């Protein structure tokens, strides 16, 4: 069986630097594009917050209306 030699610290650093450089190059995003993406994301999050608020307010309003309707039905039929 043939054993391989351990990599030197210099080889490890060289490979790590190459990986970092290649990854940075592959995933580099223009600063203005990145900023505009954040602006769009903020708009989406605001829309989500607004939709959530409308949903909660609608649910509470329906609950209250339902309670009033049930109270009205009970009042018209009387307590039995």
pLDDT in tens, 47-77: 999 999 999 999 999 999 999 999 998 888 8
In whole angstroms, what is the distance from residue 62 CA to residue 55 CA? 10
Q: Is residue 11 part of a domain?
A: no
Give the chain's end-to-end CA distance (angstroms, integer): 94
Alpha helices per DSSP H over the chain: 9-27, 31-77
Q: Is residue 51 part of a domain?
A: yes
Which domain, by its residues, includes 52? 46-80
For the chain, the domain total comes to: 1
pTM of the complete model? 0.53
In whole angstroms, what is the distance from residue 59 CA to residue 68 CA? 14
Which tokens go with 10? 């210099």
Confidence check: pLDDT of 42 > 70:
yes
Q: Is residue 52 part of a domain?
A: yes
């Amino acid at each position: 069986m043939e054993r391989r030699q351990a990599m030197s610290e210099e080889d490890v650093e060289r490979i790590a630097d190459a990986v970092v450089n290649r990854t940075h190059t592959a995933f580099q995003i223009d600063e203005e594009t990145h900023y505009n993406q954040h602006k769009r994301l903020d708009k989406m999050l605001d829309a989500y917050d607004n939709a959530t608020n409308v949903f909660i307010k609608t649910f509470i309003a329906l609950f209250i209306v339902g309670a009033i309707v049930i109270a009205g039905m009970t009042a018209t039929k009387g307590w039995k």
